[in-house]
Structure 1
Amino acid sequence: MAKKTVRDLDVNGKVVLVRVDFNVPMQEGKITDDKRIVAALDTITYLIENNAKVVLFSHLGKIKSEEDKAKNDLAPVAEHLAALLGQEVAFSTETRGAALEAAVAALEECEVLLVQNTRYEDLDGKKESGNDPELGKYWASLGDVFVNDAFGTTHRAHASNVGISANLESAVGFLVEKELKFLGEAVDQPVRPLVAILGGAKVSDKIKVIESLLTKADKVIIGGGMAYTFLKAQGKEVGNSLLELDRVELAKQLLEEAGDKLVLPVDVVVADAFSNDANTQTVSVDNIPTEWEGLDCGPESIKLFSEVLKDAKTVIWNGPMGVFELEKFAHGTNGVAETLSNLTDAITIVGGGDSAAAVSQLGYEDKFTHISTGGGASLNYLEGVVLPGVEAIDEK
């Protein structure tokens, strides 16, 4: 990797500022899923073991009001992190000022401090998410070196990543290093055949990804809600299914350019309502009833996708095949997950977001080579877009 990693820094006795992604789901002040916290432990533990004084920065949710501040307080995260590390984690209730500076100054080697939600700074003019240069400079003044280990925010230029990087020697942490390795090799140096599976709701969300992967992958499977825009482009009736009329011509163009490289569903599960209690039927994509909507791939589609995938050596999956949140329409997503879990001789990568949530919900987490922690960042990377949070890190 061209960028410095945490191994390249002298952290002994130093105050190391670390951008982590502790943007975890919470209900009534309780963390409901700690995967993002666990994902940062390797870097934090390494710094502790190498006698650093560790200062952690993270956002949580969006802050537009005092109510948002109360709801997105990071204090419960500090407690949970302490339990995971088996040591005390100090917590600063302030994002700047004398109290924060005193808390940093009080740190001994091997101790950890978590700073309050960086987006508290957004309540007065989006200083954090707008990458205010003075805020980035101020936070940088608190430490000696900086480590970015929040892959999920690398596609954004914020004060707590790009802003700090501009003022300190910087490196990526183990999580970001791992993400860039797997995604980078899969896209730029794949073991072939490379098959990409793209699902989710809208073509417009993934136009650049589709275009990019069509130039790199051997096959691109399209599922989920976005498939209906492509089916419409083929002249098929899609009923009440999700449809982006303004993208039909683009879909037609992509179909013409891709030829047999692009693989679409051949049957779908349609329903007379968006509900687990709806009446359903499985129909060919040539026979979708006008008053029904497609909410999942059908069994013949899963067979087709499995046939395409059986010889794959690298697979990138981003986006569910149906409305997996409703049990009745999770069969397509489940089928793809099961197929990929049985590809023992392939590199299988889930590109964050809803597909990562689906894999987790369906119990396949330990069956994949890599599950990305960053939905938007993963998509941007697959598009070939430069990630500002990585670009700002020092070269080796």
Structure 2
Amino acid sequence: MSWKSLDDVEMKDKTVLVRVDINVPVEAGKVTDATRIEKIVPTIKDIQAKGGKPVLLAHFGRPKGQVVPEMSLKVVLPALEAALGQKVGFAEDCIGAPAKKAVAAMQAGDVLLLENTRFHPGEEKNDPAMAAGLAALGKVYVNDAFSAAHRAHASTEGIAHLMPSCAGRLMEAELKALNAALGDPERPVVAIVGGAKVSTKLDLLGNLVAKVDHLVIGGGMANTFLVAQGIEVGASLAERDMADTARSILEKAKAAGCAIELPVDVVVAREFKAGAANETVAADACPADAMILDAGPETVDRIAEVFARCRTLIWNGPLGAFEIEPFDAATNAAARKAAELTRGGRLVSVAGGGDTVAALNKAGVAEDFTYISTAGGAFLEWMEGKVLPGVAALEA
């Protein structure tokens, strides 16, 4: 990879524009989860240590190019100051006179947050004038927002072409982890793809079968693949109109030498609720009035065996209805096996996607994985093999 890191760029006495993602949940005017804010602290501290003055560019919510007072980044200031352990300045706009005045007033050691970039229509349009307005404020650009790297916006893509640019620590860690998982992985590689619908992950499945050695399909998606093989799944969630597509993915996988792992036994119930009466049956023996809500123990054993033979794991999506007990059992068991192998140095494990992160946290093993991506859409597009504009701009 040809992008630069903070270590490669001179920053002493320079104003450094840092694109961050601090689009955090807020209730009653207070940040309820500061994880994204805490993750940018190493980048800001390193810029300060190199003698640079960090000026933060960020979006908040979806104001669609309008000034929406309740979407002002002012709301994150207390959490940002708490994470950094210092006062943070604030400019009422991200371009123009207010921004220039605030930047000009900065002293060594200061940190400045600019108002929501999406208050300007030029941000999401990647307007060259907007990018130039941002670039005029500093001498170096740092992108530390991998989670926004799949968007070609003025603050994520346009600006990177106008000044010396590099990746921040969070972006650097993400790119290294992703390269280790799919770019240049230790083989064999296994991927888990779960979730409700095949239709939402067609690009992902199509890309992975050509790149991994084993593909474990779970969740409602697995039911669609069972239907494609002529197996009845009762009242289960399944996209019957996607059967031909599922068959074509199976054929593509066979041609590529990728082993598809589908459930061999399943946990079924008559109602979708916590603690519902359930039974484990063979995958081809789902009663007509029941629905498949989890993979069974024999399937989990097979997945564990695949993990033990592999060196790299990429995980996106749960194996069952992990939100409600006892239909979280397969996801929890597989996650714990992956964590055990990772702790033992036998597996590089990279996971991402909202449900996946929630499931691994629920299983209590998120800390044991090699890398957990909180990037959502950007992580998924990377798994699909798409070019991320924010990353490509750093490499240009």
What is the TM-score of this pair, normalised by structure 2?
0.92
Match of 1:144 in 2: 139
1:265 to 263, 266, 287: 263
Which 10-residue stretch deviates more, 47-56 or 242-251?
242-251
Q: 1:257 to 1:167 in 2, by over 3 A?
A: closer
CA distance in 2, matches of 1:100, 1:164: 16
| Matched residue type, 2:318 | P
Matches within 5 A, 1:351-370: 351-370=352-371
1:179 to 174, 180, 195: 174
CA distance in 1, matches of 2:326, 2:204: 29
Q: 1:204 to 1:81 in 2, by over 3 A?
A: same
Q: 1:81 to 1:327 in 2, by over 3 A?
A: farther
CA distance in 2, matches of 1:239, 1:146: 55
Shift of 1:13: 0.9
| Matched residue type, 2:266 | V
Shift of 1:371: 0.8
CA distance in 1, matches of 2:29, 2:282: 47
CA distance in 1, matches of 2:361, 2:94: 33
Deviation digits for residues 304-331 of structure 1 (CA, Å, limit 9, x no counterpart): 2111111221111111112222233222
CA distance in 1, matches of 2:289, 2:69: 45
Matches within 5 A, 1:111-150: 111-121=110-120, 126-150=121-145
2:280 to 279, 282, 304: 282
Match of 2:161 in 1: 166
CA distance in 2, matches of 1:86, 1:143: 24
1:306 lines up with 2:304 in the alignment: yes
Shift of 1:216: 1.9
| Contact 1:198–1:318 (Cα < 8 Å) also in 2 | yes
Matches within 5 A, 1:99-114: 99-114=98-113
- Number of residues of Structure 1 aligned to a counterpart in Structure 2: 390
Match of 1:197 in 2: 192
Q: 1:95 to 1:188 in 2, by over 3 A?
A: closer
| Contact 2:99–2:137 (Cα < 8 Å) also in 1 | no
CA distance in 2, matches of 1:282, 1:195: 25
Which 10-residue stretch deviates more, 198-207 or 322-331?
322-331
| Matched residue type, 1:371 | I
CA distance in 2, matches of 1:384, 1:357: 24
Shift of 1:205: 2.2
Q: 1:387 to 1:142 in 2, by over 3 A?
A: same
CA distance in 2, matches of 1:163, 1:339: 43
Match of 2:10 in 1: 10
Matches within 5 A, 1:217-228: 217-228=212-223
Matches within 5 A, 1:10-159: 10-63=10-63, 69-121=68-120, 126-159=121-154
| Matched residue type, 1:300 | E
Shift of 1:133: 2.2
Determine what percentage of the aligned residue pairs are the same residue: 45
Deviation digits for residues 236-284 of structure 1 (CA, Å, limit 9, x no counterpart): 1122322223321011122233347000112222333333264433332
Matched residue of 1:231: which SS? helix
Please give the root-mean-square deviation of Cα atoms over the aligned residues, in Å: 2.1
1:249 lines up with 2:244 in the alignment: yes
Which 10-residue stretch deviates more, 290-299 or 40-49?
290-299
Match of 1:319 in 2: 317
Deviation digits for residues 90-143 of structure 1 (CA, Å, limit 9, x no counterpart): 12233334322211211112211112222223xxxx432222222122111111
CA distance in 2, matches of 1:129, 1:360: 33
| Contact 1:267–1:285 (Cα < 8 Å) also in 2 | yes
Q: 1:294 to 1:5 in 2, by over 3 A?
A: same
CA distance in 2, matches of 1:361, 1:120: 36
| Matched residue type, 1:107 | M
CA distance in 2, matches of 1:272, 1:100: 59
| Matched residue type, 1:34 | A
| Matched residue type, 2:42 | D
Matched residue of 1:216: which SS? coil
Which 10-residue stretch deviates more, 11-20 or 250-259?
250-259
Match of 2:331 in 1: 333
CA distance in 1, matches of 2:239, 2:16: 47
1:216 to 203, 211, 218: 211
Deviation digits for residues 62-112 of structure 1 (CA, Å, limit 9, x no counterpart): 22598x945533223221121111111112233334322211211112211
Shift of 1:177: 1.5
Q: 1:186 to 1:289 in 2, by over 3 A?
A: same
Shift of 1:185: 2.3
| Contact 1:47–1:110 (Cα < 8 Å) also in 2 | no
Deviation digits for residues 328-356 of structure 1 (CA, Å, limit 9, x no counterpart): 32222211211111102211111233212
Match of 2:372 in 1: 371
CA distance in 1, matches of 2:273, 2:234: 17
Matched residue of 2:46: which SS? helix
What is the TM-score of this pair, normalised by structure 1?
0.92
| Matched residue type, 1:324 | F
Can you give the 5+ residue segments of structure 1 that lack an aligned partner in the other structure? none
| Matched residue type, 1:9 | V
Matched residue of 1:82: which SS? helix
| Contact 1:353–1:376 (Cα < 8 Å) also in 2 | no
| Contact 1:265–1:297 (Cα < 8 Å) also in 2 | yes
| Matched residue type, 1:297 | A
CA distance in 1, matches of 2:355, 2:187: 26
Can you give the 5+ residue segments of structure 2 that lack an aligned partner in the other structure? none
